Amino acid sequence: MAQTRFAPDRGLTSRMVTTMFFIGLLYVVVVGVLVVLLKGAWVVVLLIAGALFVAQFWYSDRIAAFSMGAREVTPEQAPELHGAVDRLCALADMPKPRVAIAESDVPNAFATGRNQKNSMVCATTGLLRRLEPEELEGVLAHELSHVAHRDVAVMTIASFLGVLAGIITRAALWSGVGRNNRDQNAAIAVLIVTAVSVVVYAISFLLTRLLSRYRELSADRAAALLTGRPSALAAALTKVTGQIARIPTEDLRKAQPFNAFYFAPAFNKESFSTLLSSHPTLEQRLDQLGRIAAELGRP
């Protein structure tokens, strides 16, 4: 990983390595089960699994950006946004990513990319309308830290197996999971594949959620230390969270599938289990920023 001036986080690195280890183990288990059950087509299984993994790794950033409505903009089209990114990249000593805007009233931001050279940072029009310059820089610094620490790439890869297992599970359920199948062995094979996929999906989901919550706290910390203005990031967090609560539910549901990549979640009700949340609570994030402000001697 190219060195930047973002504060390193060994806790994040160890969690990313652990997550990738278990995700890789699960991937081997899934492919192994499919190879054993589909003996006559094991080569096809391996080729398809490999192709899907490569496609997910190389094209996931484009897929994510397209899905979230990101549109790349030039400095002439968005001078203030580009100016903020330029300043932060110079401060962090990192390559400038592509800059994009998503037409959405939901105030949010996200970053994509498998590395610093192939990254994009995007802000919604709702975010740009609502934040002051210092607050916007705090949010952008948060997103740039995801790129610098490469946790965006890890999250993309980690989520791949869960998505694949989910597709297999839904396909099996929709097809009747072997019902009316005269071949008893084929029916049993389908049931085993479905059961393994359900377990893999659940484990993958929990692993990515655990990593996602920690990486958000890590990005908050790195952004606050880089800019030296934790209070600006705290103000942005409070403002964004409060404004999201006023957005129509229909619009929030469109954004919800991408919660793990957003600066703030579309839904993060207290009634939801902490174990299932993609982000730490607002109180946790503000408490951390408050401690950083005290360490820096800033109000």
The 10s digit of each residue's pLDDT in 122-161 is: 999 999 999 999 999 999 999 999 999 988 888 877 766 6
Closest C-alpha to 27, from 1, 13, 48: 48
Q: How many CB atoms lie within 10 A of CB 194?
A: 20
pTM exceeds 0.75, yes or no? yes
Q: Annotated binding site for Zn(2+), which residues?
A: 142, 146, 216
Given phi > 0 = left and psi -120 to 50 = alpha, else beta, which region is 172?
Answer: alpha
Q: Mean pLDDT over all residues of the chain?
A: 82
Q: 28 exposed, middle or buried (CB, 10 Å; 0-12, 13-18, 19+)? A: exposed
CB 70 within 8 A of CB 258: no
Domain positions in the chain: 17-265+274-297
Catalytic residues: 143
| 143 neighbors 70 (Cβ within 8 angstroms) | no
Q: Which residue has the tokens 């705290």?
A: 234
pLDDT at 275: 60
For the chain, which ranges sit under pLDDT 70?
1-2, 34, 37-42, 45, 56-57, 60-61, 159-187, 189-190, 193-194, 197, 257, 267-275, 298-299
Closest listed residue to residue 266, CA positions, set 239, 284, 291, 245: 245
Tokens of 170: 């839904």
Instruction: Check residue 166 and give left, alpha or beta (phi > 0: left; psi -120 to 50: alpha).
Output: alpha
pLDDT of residue 227: 95
Write down the pLDDT at residue 229. 95
Six token digits for residue 60: 């996931």
| pLDDT for 162 | 61
C-alpha distances out from residue 113 to 143, 144, 207, 271, Å: 11, 11, 20, 33
